[in-house]
Amino acid sequence: MAGRGIDRISADSGTVANTTDAQPLSTKRDFSAVLPKNEAYVDGHLSKPALISIAILTFITFVGNFTQLQLSAALPTIVKEFDISVTTGQWLTSIIMLTMGVMVPLTAFLTRRFSTRQIVITSMVVFTLGSIIAWLGPTFPIVLAGRGLEAIGSGVMWPVLQITVFSIYPLARRGLAMGTVGMAMSVAPAIGPVFGGWQTDANGWRSVFLTLAVIGVIALLLATFGLRNFVQHDGSVKADLFSVCLSIIGFGSVMFGVTNSEAYGFGNVMVWLPIIVGIAGIIWFVLRQIHRARLFRIASEKVFAAKRAGASPEVIAHLKAAKVQPPLLDLSVLRNHSFTVGTITATLSFFAFSTITVIIPLYIQNDRGFSATMSGLVMLPGALGQCIAQFGGGRLLDRFGARPVTLVGSITLLVGTLMMAMIGPDTWIWWVSICQFIRQIGMGFVLMPVTTWSLNCLRSTSVSAGSAVTNTSRQLGGAIGAPILVIAMESITKLRQSALGGGAAHAVAASIFGVRMSLYISALITFAMVVLVFFGVKGDGAGSTRDLTHQALHRLHEQIEQERNHITGAWPTHID
């Protein structure tokens, strides 16, 4: 092996490069050049350029999380100002998750087609433009459009950060790395509602979007002058725009129909027709991804076999010239049982936890009469608890494995949700804060460990696709969960108010009853998650990361041998 160097497999392309060919860093920093792994992670630590880049990506991803929750405390005020229903108003939060759910499948394509710098800089331009439109928008649809652009700009940042972390850190250090990043992400829910509530009370809700525009400019400057590239990209890769349209039509139509159900009832054509169209679009989308994955696998195997057989460059070039591209969303990763269990668990947690963005602020402000600032302060301890739990969960994952950490977290989330479901008209307001603290501690011990574990169970060349699938699934879970729980709350509230005799005198009592029932629904979903973790997160993959390292090393040696002669360029990955 002396003199040959160590073969390195790119996380996004699955191709083999030789680190001995890497050129030393020049005195002039070339931000567009790819920073090799042996220069990004040296002697058990990040190098300075890698540390700066990870910090920038973490900050920008933090901005995306901050965007989701900063507006939650201002939502009741916006609903009153535009004279719209809560179901319509919650689109300001749901559109973030829905748009992210559409954008995340593009991550695998974007990271193959464009460099990290190109993706991040473009995203921040779009994010800043959306914030300005929402800030100045005179009507609710224009504000919603600006909010959608914010979501487009921030939607791919978390998967890009995940892929970067997994491409730099060795397996044995990923739990701690993801826990540290997750801790930083949890600061956003801690200060977002508080800051947004204070801004709304002091300067109106539009000041929230002005702040986001300023933050977007800062993030754009940081990315331009400090971010490095870590993975190779291939300019010949093309996007499957038809699949993008199918995902928009499918998931968007389902959400549109579900949202209309509160106003029209499920028997109305405005409800059942969009839902049917959406389901058909989702099914078509899934079938198309499976078909394209099969075609790409066949074409990729032909090139691989030709190379191993010693075929001439002309023959290989002819095979590579075939117009076959990878699927938009590589669903083949779901063949991995552990990854599938982890993805479903994360999706259920997002679905059950979506009450935090709409329902709890409505209870605090509308039912109890507290200010938007107080609403944010009540939620603050829980967000700080999740911040600590994210970091602790990553360390515990490295030591004990995913099963005990995720099981404790899911049970804690269930207990906290049941405790919060006991709220009433005279409940001590800080009881809500205590319950939310317990809930978010549970979320911290579930989300990051189970996501890291599920991605660890994939081959390194499948991490990009796996990240896209799991992030798409959980964003859609949150996007669909919020309107479903809000509609359930408002429907139960109306029935309860009628049962109590109607009138404004019973409105608050009926509303609180609706909030409690929606929390019980959330608890039921959380219980299903506990059962899934208990029976699904097990086996060798649920052990500590140290145990997984030995298995991964064996897989890595096999992978290197398989990929040693793989073609670079037109075939960005080899689908199993």
- CATH class, domain 33-238, is mainly alpha
pLDDT of residue 414: 92
> Which residue in this structure is represented by tokens 């696709």?
465
Instruction: Give the Cα separation of 540 and 545 in Å (integer).
Output: 10
The overall average pLDDT reported for the chain is 77
Mean pLDDT throughout 414-437? Answer: 89
Residues 6+ apart with CB under 8 A from 387: 183, 186, 187, 190, 444
pLDDT of residue 142: 93
Mean pLDDT throughout 329-335? Answer: 82
Name, of 106-115, 183-192, 304-313, 408-417, the range with top average pLDDT.
Answer: 408-417
pLDDT of residue 26: 39
pLDDT tens digits, 510-554:
888 988 998 899 899 999 999 998 988 875 555 544 555 555 555
The residues facing 18 across adjacent strands are: 7
Q: What are phi and psi of 211, to 5 degrees?
A: -60, -40
- Region at 16 (left for phi over 0; alpha for psi -120 to 50; beta for the rest): beta
pLDDT tens digits, 66-122:
777 777 778 888 888 888 877 777 778 777 767 776 776 677 677 777 888 888 899
Residue 16, SS3?
Answer: strand
The residues facing 42 across adjacent strands are: 45
Mean pLDDT throughout 156-183? Answer: 73
DSSP state of 194: H
190: confidence class by pLDDT, cuts 50, 70, 90: low
- Is residue 339's pLDDT more than 80? yes
The dotted CATH code for 336-564 is 1.20.1250.20
> Which residue in this structure is represented by tokens 């074409």?
299
Residue from 504, 491, 512 nearest 424 by CA: 512
Mean pLDDT throughout 290-294? Answer: 84
Residue 456, SS3?
Answer: helix
- Is residue 409's pLDDT more than 80? yes
- Is residue 13's pLDDT more than 60? no
* Count of helices and strands (H, E) across the chain: 22, 4
